[in-house]
Amino acid sequence: MYAAGANDLSPGDSVVLNIGKKSQEFIIRGLVMSPEYVFNSPDVIPEPETYGFIYVNKAAFPEMPVNEICVLTADDADIEKVKAALEEKLPGAFILDRKVHKSTQLIRAEISQFKSLSKVFPIMFFAVSVLIVMTTMTRIVENQRTQIGLLKALGYGKGAIVRHYVSFGFYPSLIGAVCGLAAGRNTLPAFLWSILEDIYVLPDIRVAVVSQVALAVCISSVLLTCIICYYTCRRSISESAAALLRPKAPAAGSRVLLERISLIWKRLSFSAKMIQRNLMRNRIRTIMALTGVMSCTALMVTALGLLDSVDHMVSTYYGETLKYDLRADLDEKAGSVDMYRKITDADKTEGIMEIPVSIRKAESSSRTVLLTVVENDQELLSLGEAGTDVNGGHTGSAGPAGKHADTGGQIDTPDAGMPYENQVMVSEKLAQIMGIDAGDTIKLRLPGSEDENDMYVENLVTIQIGQGIYMSEKSWNSLGKGAFIPTALLIKNPGEDTRGFFEGLDEVTGVKSLQSLRDKTKTGLESINSVSLLMVAFALVLAFVVLYNMGILNFMERVREFATLKVLGFHHREIRSLIIKENAIIAVAGILSGIFPGVWLTDLVMKSSEPDDMVFRALVEPTSIAAACCITLIFSLVAQYLLIRKVRGIVMTQALKSVE
């Protein structure tokens, strides 16, 4: 259907199919979507303008053999037993289940990534939201001290007063939870779905049934708000009516730790001493403010770290692992590599042969993977040792025992005295999935063959995108399975007309530049980038709300103090300076304390969202850390600016007068 739309085809139009030497015209009877082709591309991402699928009746091409059988199993069927039975009946066939079928495996990986992200980030956002609710509701109830005192004096019971003020939290939180649930279900899924629709063939989006987790979050939010209101009200209602009708006395000051260091304390100014004492006098508020800023900074670092990690993975793979500039894919009519090397205008031309093969370890189940056979002493495909990057630098994961990959990126030829003459290298991620280690022996079976070959795993290699096994041309020749016929040519520094020359050859099925592959891969990873940008936006909103909320709470608690300072002769700018310095200390301390949790959270998210065919390495660039810190600091300054404007509005007589 997507290919038809991209090529302006509709039911009733005619198309001509060329299969071999036979051409036949067909009438389009309908447009279809198939679960077998959720992801429909021979390359990195789908291009419906040039690639699609067509269903025709087998009677139209009776001479064509059947090359694929689809098996529908019962819901309670043992998949491994079914695969074993099929392998016994069809010994030369490759058996693929939904776990390794490319189309469904990719969409399952996307779903798994979103599930992983949905388990990590909501917890962080919920924790910050808890801080906001706690400070807001505490402030609202405590501002009602005089009202609570009046109600007690008028004879209202404690239960009635508590129920009244619990409703302050119940109704707003209930409305907020319902609105948040409705907004979240109808905005974010549609946004992410629209991104995935550019890559996958998906049905129309449907709003899912409200899950138990979503309901639990909503109920927890309402209950938490009510509990906070209840305990705050209970603490106030325990006082007498006369005490409640008086302004709340500020918290008693005490000697701070810095004050015990006389050498430093004596050198501090009066304002600096006041700031230090106030921070320690209101420890709970200070800790909550620090925690809020730290969480927001950690979320910012994580969001930017995800962007850095994805960009680093793509740049490493398409700049250090793959070192060619053009790739020309060939069909079965391809000639020898030497022939193409002689006629290619380029600094270097190498051939690779890619074949789908079935491998297994001992008696375990088989898995279909891609075997890449390269020329001896090749240079345009750099394979790094597992546990290191492609340049030999340590990545943080332990490498396998045994031989190491050649640091020049070449695949070693079999060494004399090895247990098996035939040697392969296995990508690190594939080895983890199948439980393979360097020095093991695996069984390898080629397409259409019933025989299995014992292959010695020389070592494991790190490949960022696309997992498989690798073999040298010499090892391939030792198998005796035919000549080394390239399926693709890797070309370095081609001439101006090289691409056009290869596009004109009959045996060339496509020519792709490394830059185009890089861009397509970035497009395929757009969903992770979109989630990262959403995180940045939400983290900024939370940072502003937390900083402003904490600041306004501090300001309201200290209005009498600021009014007293004005009476004593302090100017507006001096009082503003006190507020700015105090909030700046909290903001800077929270920002610095949020860097390490942000880096740790980035690593956690990358590991939890890693698909089977990719290797994610968490990387947070220093520039991203600096950007996260600066953005959070700027938002704190904006919040402070809104607060210090209130200093000029303090009326000294009103702030200092007693209720009596």
- How far apart are the C-alpha atoms of 110 and 126, rounded to whole Å? 24
Last residue of a domain, one of 22, 43, 68: 68
**Is residue 73 a part of any domain in this protein?**
no
Last residue of a domain, one of 456, 475, 506: 506
**Is residue 286 a part of any domain in this protein?**
yes
Query: How many other β-carbons are positioned within 10 Å of the β-carbon of residue 67?
Result: 6
Same domain, 404 and 341: yes
Q: Is 137 left (phi over 0), alpha (psi -120 to 50) or beta?
A: alpha
Residue ranges in the chain whose pLDDT is less than 50: 387-420
Same domain, 239 and 294: no
Same domain, 491 and 535: no
The one-letter amino acid code at 201 reads V
Separation of CA 91 from chain center = 40
Same domain, 134 and 240: yes
Give me the pLDDT at residue 150, please: 86
Would you tell me the crossing angle of helices 102-142 and 283-316 to the nearest 10 degrees? 160
Shortest CA distance to 432 belongs to which of 475, 390, 386? 386
Using one digit for the tens of pLDDT, what is the confidence trace for 607-619? 877 777 788 888 8
Same domain, 53 and 180: no
**Is residue 83 a part of any domain in this protein?**
no
Give me the pLDDT at residue 488, please: 92
Reading the block at residue 576, the tokens are 């503003």
Same domain, 47 and 121: no
Reading the block at residue 271, the tokens are 């304002």
The two beta strands, 423-427 and 453-462, are parallel
**Is residue 625 a part of any domain in this protein?**
yes
* Cβ-proximal residues to 508 (8 Å cutoff; 6+ apart), any chain: 328, 329, 330, 331, 502
Phi, psi of 212 (to 5 degrees): -65, -35
Same domain, 575 and 474: no
Residue 39 and residue 107 in contact, taking contact as beta carbons nearer than 8 Å: yes
Reading the block at residue 631, the tokens are 């953005």
**Tally of helices (H runs) and strands (E runs) in the chain:** 21, 12
Same domain, 144 and 13: no
- How far apart are the C-alpha atoms of 463 and 613, rounded to whole Å? 9
Give me the pLDDT at residue 399, please: 33
**Is residue 196 a part of any domain in this protein?**
yes
Last residue of a domain, one of 249, 272, 291: 249
Tell me the three state secondary structure of residue 265: helix
Tell me the three state secondary structure of residue 346: strand
Considering only CA atoms, give the Rg of the chain.
34
- Per the DSSP assignment, residues forming a β-bridge with 381 are 322
Give me the pLDDT at residue 396, please: 37
Same domain, 642 and 526: yes
Same domain, 52 and 118: no
76 exposure class (CB count in 10 Å sphere: 0-12, 13-18, 19+)? exposed
- How far apart are the C-alpha atoms of 627 and 248, rounded to whole Å? 41
Residue with tokens 């940008």: 533
Reading the block at residue 464, the tokens are 């960022």
Residue 173 and residue 226 in contact, taking contact as beta carbons nearer than 8 Å: yes
Give me the pLDDT at residue 401, please: 32
Number of domains in the chain: 4
- How far apart are the C-alpha atoms of 338 and 282, rounded to whole Å? 79
**Is residue 267 a part of any domain in this protein?**
no
Reading the block at residue 69, the tokens are 């059988």
- How far apart are the C-alpha atoms of 634 and 236, rounded to whole Å? 37
Give me the pLDDT at residue 328, please: 92
**Is residue 218 a part of any domain in this protein?**
yes
Regarding pTM above 0.85, the answer is no
**Is residue 486 a part of any domain in this protein?**
yes
The one-letter amino acid code at 503 reads E
Same domain, 352 and 483: yes
- How far apart are the C-alpha atoms of 297 and 599, rounded to whole Å? 10
Give me the pLDDT at residue 420, please: 44
Domain span including residue 17: 2-68
Residue 613 and residue 521 in contact, taking contact as beta carbons nearer than 8 Å: no
Cα separations (Å) of 70 from 96, 356, 377?
A: 10, 18, 41
User: Percent helix, strand, coil in the chain (nearest 5)?
Assistant: 50, 15, 35
- How far apart are the C-alpha atoms of 335 and 337, rounded to whole Å? 7
Same domain, 359 and 440: yes
